[in-house]
């Protein structure tokens, strides 16, 4: 008997059918269900949950017996789920009821088949590398120091650029005069970095991307480095503060900070159906092949 944890941030009545399908399918397989506390408060009056074993609020309340996490929402919702799963090795299935959905690759229309595949173990696991801030000098360490998509430094003062000196394995790379700098994983290559003209990496690529945000020097381009590299970022700027963002969590740091970034020791496991390969996701989400000549 499998135990499924369900996480969501909001509830739109238009998604009621999909959520009911998820709950019904789990119940059909006699699976146990626990629900994130805040999400349960939103849905409890609309659904009767059989085999319900309770709620959870944070990662310390996650039971060892949980077999799978289901994230209901968009990519931002799935990124929140990671802070609950962390290094537990619990596989996550993202059901996309949001907009684009690179991470939440299971469409809402396919939830019936997806839950069926989950219990029949007819799926593939995609292991995703994370970034980690190992140390910050002159500023406080973030409460959550890892990121699945990217770690970003950006200006806090809209009227002034910042200068970020980047080092890779203690070798000087470049001084970036820009609105900011993105360090992205292969997973994050289709997130903020992509909107800043960064390359797309396949999820299993053993690489990171360093990509400037609106650089003042037009010759600056993204660079791909091995994911076993140690990155050091040294900040300067006319203003005193900058933003440090790890996925969707933003912190304020001093412009005299030194930030040390490496690959996180643990990985995140994402559940994908067999037919939902990465290149298909890219074609569908970015509408490749929509040229009438194809």
What's the rounded Cα separation, in Å, for the pair 192 and 180? 12
Among 97, 92, 79, 83, smallest CA distance to 43 is for 97
Which listed residue (46, 64, 67, 75) is catalytic?
75
Among 13, 97, 5, smallest CA distance to 51 is for 5
Beta bridge partners of 124: 272
Question: How is residue 14 annotated by DSSP?
Answer: G
What's the rounded Cα separation, in Å, for the pair 252 and 135? 15
Count how many residues are written for the chain: 294
Whether residue 75 lies in the annotated active site: yes
What's the rounded Cα separation, in Å, for the pair 120 and 187? 27
DSSP, collapsed to helix, strand or coil, labels residue 176 as strand
Axis crossing angle, helix 16-28 with helix 111-119, rounded to the nearest 10:
20
Residues labelled catalytic: 75
């Amino acid at each position: 008997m499998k135990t499924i944890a369900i996480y969501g941030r909001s509830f739109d009545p238009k998604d009621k059918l999909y959520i009911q399908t998820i709950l019904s399918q789990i119940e059909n397989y006699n699976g146990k269900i626990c629900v994130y506390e805040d999400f349960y408060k939103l849905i409890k009056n609309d659904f009767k949950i059989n085999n319900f074993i309770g709620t959870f609020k944070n990662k310390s309340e996650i039971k060892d017996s949980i077999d799978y996490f289901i994230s209901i929402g968009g990519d931002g919702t799935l990124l929140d789920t990671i802070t609950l799963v962390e290094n537990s090795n619990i596989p996550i299935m993202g059901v996309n009821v949001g907009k684009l959905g690179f991470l939440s690759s299971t469409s809402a229309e396919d939830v019936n088949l997806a839950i069926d595949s989950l219990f029949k173990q007819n799926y593939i696991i995609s292991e995703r590398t994370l970034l980690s801030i190992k140390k910050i000098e002159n500023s406080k360490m973030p409460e959550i120091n890892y990121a699945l998509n990217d770690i970003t430094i950006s200006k806090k003062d809209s009227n002034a650029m910042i200068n970020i000196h980047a080092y890779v394995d203690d070798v000087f790379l470049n001084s970036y005069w820009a609105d900011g700098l993105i360090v992205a994983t292969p997973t994050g290559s289709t997130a903020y970095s992509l909107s800043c003209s960064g390359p797309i990496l396949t999820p299993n690529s053993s690489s990171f991307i360093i990509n400037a945000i609106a650089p003042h020097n037009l010759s600056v381009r993204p660079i791909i480095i091995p994911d076993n590299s140690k990155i050091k970022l040294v900040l300067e700027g006319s203003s005193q503060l900058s933003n440090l963002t790890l996925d969707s969590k933003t912190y304020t740091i001093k412009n005299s900070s030194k930030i040390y970034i490496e690959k996180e020791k643990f990985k995140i496991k994402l559940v994908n159906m067999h037919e939902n390969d990465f290149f298909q996701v890219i074609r569908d989400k970015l509408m490749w092949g929509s040229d009438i000549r194809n």
